[in-house]
């Protein structure tokens, strides 16, 4: 930010590739080669496309293995009809509180055990889960029973749920902790080198964590809130507070390298939590020289990142700061999440964005809807997406990013000699993100290198200042090798929207479509200049609304460049083989 082994992905440029041969239709508008229907005033001078290219395959996150629970022993907890004198082994004789469970934890759980909380009950207690004795195939399970309403853990402070053992499933629980620090805290507890692995958190609702008071925030402009009353001082500035936190192991500096692996955080509702929705940390996986405990030299040396972390299908709303931060991680996924109203409690001297990796490699961010990230009370950043310091080979594709106060996406790098390279931003829709503070498409800050931006729609319906802003806030040097191809830049009203390249060395533009964005174009070698005929939805919310950005102008599906590495599917899943398309839709 601008303040201070399961299945692994195979990332571009080493994606598995599909090769096909084809020729674009002879009916393609061939203005840029001087052919039939040429109109250089509108269509530029497009070079010939190759007869065949290699496509990159779809990226599908792994799933956690299912568990055969037929031979499990169960303990039942019901704080209405239960009694701690019961044995807890049946629905008719449940425990009343967590105390008998904590006694089992102290002595060590028997293998193949599950603890079930009765639907609709509210437990005003904290829960510590350790010594669980789960295995990869027979993990410890905590779940609900007796109805569809989630049981609630309403903690009086601290960590509502502290998980200190791996090989477990945590499902279908509601958690609140208004004056505490965390909803679920995962903290590795072991000595020696190795992985803390095989944990699933799914189907939970985590709300009002580190979120004091009862102020109504639904539909409220955060500029009108007393954010200090909700999360005062250090309770906001600490990113390690929030909904689901994977924090460093206790006494990390005294241990050998460790990391988190095969962690699945899926299909949860996370709202009104502060500061972070989900935070993944790692003391031994930093890619920044001089940072972390690993004394990083390169990715093949002293580097122990978290691996195979899947953050998928979660619904975030009213997050005090950042919705997802994935730090010191590789081969992982931020996928199919919905994030509204991040940075909702932001304030002066603090920077937050929606979804972002930090000091990581080979992260895929796809099929996310990110909207209404805020910039109130003097806070900074406010982008929907961010690829932050020391990130390598980040794939940003198939996202719907709209109405974010700080712009669509931030790319930035620090001054410590770390590498930031290989970001690919493709087949996304960026709609009505504000560009007066930074860039409505993107801000590139510091020495960010080897970036490909192609086949996106960047659309505004009101006048804004910048599509792109490049600066050197971190004082880390210039950005190099940044290329834009097959993008659609348009405004529904005549406007003059700038590309500011103050800190970007010779960016390359080729075959981008510009409509009503000003009379002076960037130095595009083959610009397209016509109305793509896009009618945005009256109500923008909902990922399905991306389909309404499909251009009605047929030339958009004929005028694109083709090149190796393009994805085999477009934004809505259409096969693209042989289609010369501009923007994220192949038809």
User: What percentage of the chain exceeds 70 in pLDDT?
Assistant: 90
Run of H or E residues at 106: helix 99-107
Q: Determine which helix (DSSP H) or strand (DSSP E) holds 107, and give its type and residue range.
A: helix 99-107
> In the predicted model, is pLDDT for residue 122 greater than 90?
yes
Q: Is the pLDDT of residue 43 over 60?
A: no
Q: Is residue 317 within 8 Å of residue 347, measured between CB atoms?
A: no
For residues 11-35, average pLDDT: 33
Does residue 573 lie in a domain region? no
Average pLDDT over residues 395-412: 98
In which band, very low, low, confident or very high, does the pLDDT at 277 lie, cut at 50, 70 and 90?
A: very high
292: pLDDT strictly greater than 70: yes
CB atoms within 10 A of CB 41: 9
Quick check: is 572 in a domain? Answer: no
Q: Give the tens place of pLDDT for each residue, 154-165.
A: 999 999 999 999
Q: Which pLDDT score is estimated for 34? A: 27
Q: In which domain, by residue range, is 350 found? A: 55-557
Q: How confident is the model at residue 33 (pLDDT cuts 50, 70, 90)?
A: very low
Taking the C-alpha atoms of residue 388 and residue 448, their distance in angstroms, rounded to an integer, is 10
Query: What torsion do the CA atoms of 78, 83, 84, 85 make, to the nearest 10 degrees?
Result: -150
Measured at the alpha carbon of residue 569, what is the angle toward residues 564 and 571, in degrees to the nearest 5? 115
Q: Count of domains in the chain?
A: 1
Q: What are phi and psi of 262, to 5 degrees?
A: 55, 60
Mean pLDDT of the 300-328 span: 97
pLDDT at 27 over 70: no
pTM for this one?
0.93
Domain contains 202: yes
pLDDT value of residue 126: 97
d(CA 520, CA 449) in angstroms, rounded, equals 26
**1 in any annotated domain:** no
The mean pLDDT of the chain is 91
**Section 532-548 average pLDDT:** 97
Predicted confidence band of residue 103 (pLDDT cuts 50, 70, 90): very high
Which residue in 576, 575, 580, 572 sits closest to 429, CA to CA? 572
In a domain, 493, yes or no: yes
Confidence (pLDDT) at 45: 55
pLDDT over threshold 50, residue 35: no
Q: Are 587 and 575 in contact (CB under 8 A)?
A: no
Confidence label for 520 from pLDDT (cuts 50, 70 and 90): low
Give the model's pLDDT for residue 19: 40
Domain assignment present for residue 566? The answer is: no
Q: Apex CA 562: angle with CA 568 and CA 335, to 5°?
A: 35
Residue 421 within any structural domain of the chain? yes
Q: What is the mean pLDDT of residues 430-435?
A: 96
Report, in this order, helix, strand and coil percent for the chain, each rounded to 5.
Answer: 5, 35, 60
Paired with 242 in beta bridges are 182, 276
- Over residues 462-505, the pLDDT tens digits come to 878 899 999 999 999 999 999 999 999 999 999 989 999 999 99
Q: Which of 107-111, 274-278, 342-346, 477-481 has the lowest mean pLDDT?
A: 107-111
Residue 139 — very low, low, confident or very high, per pLDDT cuts 50/70/90?
A: very high
- The rounded distance, in Å, linking the Cα atoms of 276 and 241 is 6
pLDDT > 60? residue 18: no
Residue 268: CATH number of its domain: 2.160.20
Of 14-28, 252-266, 487-501, 555-569, minimum mean pLDDT range: 14-28
CA pair distance 395, 370, nearest whole angstrom: 16
Mean pLDDT of 438-451: 96
Cβ–Cβ under 8 Å, residues 444 and 451: yes
* pLDDT of amino acid 28: 28
User: Is 50 exceeded by the pLDDT of residue 208?
Assistant: yes
Please name the residues in contact with 370: beta carbons below 8 A apart, sequence gap of 6 or more.
323, 339, 342, 354, 355, 384, 385, 399, 400, 401, 402, 404
Contacts for 216-224: CB closer than 8 Å, 24+ residues apart: 217/272, 217/318, 217/344, 221/376, 222/344, 222/345, 222/346, 222/374, 222/376, 222/377, 223/376, 223/377
Q: Between 441 and 192, name the one with better pLDDT.
A: 441
Question: 162 near 125, Cβ under 8 Å?
Answer: no
CA atoms within 13 Å, Cβ hemisphere of 376: 20
pLDDT band at 572 (very low <50, low <70, confident <90, very high): very high
Q: What is the pLDDT of residue 17?
A: 38
Question: Quick one: pLDDT band at residue 9, thresholds 50, 70, 90?
Answer: very low
Of 169, 340, 372, 138, the residue nearest 265 (C-alpha): 169
Q: Per-residue pLDDT tens for 279-290?
A: 999 999 999 988
Going by C-alpha positions, the residue among 452, 458, 498 that lies closest to residue 583 is: 458
47: confidence class by pLDDT, cuts 50, 70, 90: low
Six-digit token string for 64: 């956690």
In a domain, 334, yes or no: yes
Cα separation, 52 vs 577, whole angstroms: 10
């Amino acid at each position: 930010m601008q303040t201070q082994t399961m299945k692994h992905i195979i990332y571009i440029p080493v994606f598995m590739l599909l090769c096909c041969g084809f020729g674009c239709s002879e009916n393609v508008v061939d203005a840029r080669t001087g052919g039939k229907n040429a109109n250089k005033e509108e269509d530029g001078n497009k070079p010939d496309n190759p007869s065949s290219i290699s496509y990159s395959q779809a990226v599908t996150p792994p799933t956690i293995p299912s568990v055969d629970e037929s031979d499990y022993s169960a303990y039942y907890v019901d704080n209405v009809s239960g009694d701690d004198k019961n044995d807890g082994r049946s629905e008719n004789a449940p425990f009343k509180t967590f105390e008998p469970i904590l006694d089992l934890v102290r002595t060590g759980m028997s293998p193949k055990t599950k603890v079930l909380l009765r639907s609709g009950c509210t437990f005003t207690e904290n829960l510590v889960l350790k010594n669980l004795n789960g295995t990869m195939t027979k993990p410890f399970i905590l779940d609900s029973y007796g109805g569809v309403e989630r049981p609630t853990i309403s903690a009086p402070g601290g960590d509502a749920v502290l998980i200190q053992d791996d090989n477990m499933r945590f499902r279908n629980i509601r958690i609140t902790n208004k004056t505490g620090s965390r909803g679920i805290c995962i903290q590795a507890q072991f000595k020696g080198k190795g992985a803390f692995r095989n944990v699933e958190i799914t189907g939970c609702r985590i709300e009002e964590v580190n979120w004091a008071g009862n102020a109504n925030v639904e539909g409220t402009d955060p500029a009108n809130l007393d954010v200090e009353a909700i999360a005062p001082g250090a309770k906001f500035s600490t990113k390690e507070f929030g909904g689901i936190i994977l924090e460093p192991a206790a006494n990390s500096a005294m241990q050998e390298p460790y990391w988190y692996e095969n962690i699945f955080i899926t299909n949860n509702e996370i709202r009104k939590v502060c500061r972070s929705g989900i935070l993944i940390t790692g003391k031994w996986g930093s890619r920044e020289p001089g940072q972390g405990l690993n004394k990083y030299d390169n990715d093949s040396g002293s580097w122990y990142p978290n691996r195979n972390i899947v953050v998928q299908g979660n619904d975030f709303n009213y997050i005090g700061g950042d919705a997802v931060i994935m730090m010191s991680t590789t081969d992982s996924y931020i996928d199919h999440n919905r994030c509204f109203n991040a940075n909702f409690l932001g304030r002066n001297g603090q920077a937050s964005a929606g979804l972002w990796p930090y000091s990581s490699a080979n992260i895929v961010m796809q099929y996310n809807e990110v909207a209404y990230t805020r910039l109130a009370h003097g806070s900074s950043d406010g982008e929907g997406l961010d690829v932050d310091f020391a990130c390598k080979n980040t794939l940003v594709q198939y996202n719907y990013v709209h109405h974010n106060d700080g712009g669509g996406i931030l790319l930035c790098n620090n001054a410590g000699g770390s590498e930031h390279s290989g970001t690919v931003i493709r087949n996304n829709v960026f709609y009505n993100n504000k560009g007066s503070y930074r860039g409505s498409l993107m801000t590139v800050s510091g020495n960010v290198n080897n970036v490909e931006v192609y086949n996106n729609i960047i659309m505004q319906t009101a006048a804004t200042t910048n599509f792109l802003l490049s600066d050197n806030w971190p004082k880390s040097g210039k950005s190099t090798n940044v290329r834009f191809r097959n993008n659609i830049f348009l405004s529904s009203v005549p406007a003059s929207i700038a590309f500011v390249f103050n800190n970007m060395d010779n960016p390359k533009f080729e075959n981008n479509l510009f409509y009503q964005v000003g009379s002076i174009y960037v130095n595009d070698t083959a610009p397209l200049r016509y109305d793509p005929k896009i009618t945005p939805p009256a109500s923008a919310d909902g990922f399905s609304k991306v389909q309404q950005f499909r251009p009605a102008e047929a030339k958009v599906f004929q005028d694109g460049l083709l090149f190796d590495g393009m994805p085999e599917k477009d934004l809505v899943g259409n096969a693209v083989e042989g289609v010369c398309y501009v923007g994220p839709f192949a038809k």
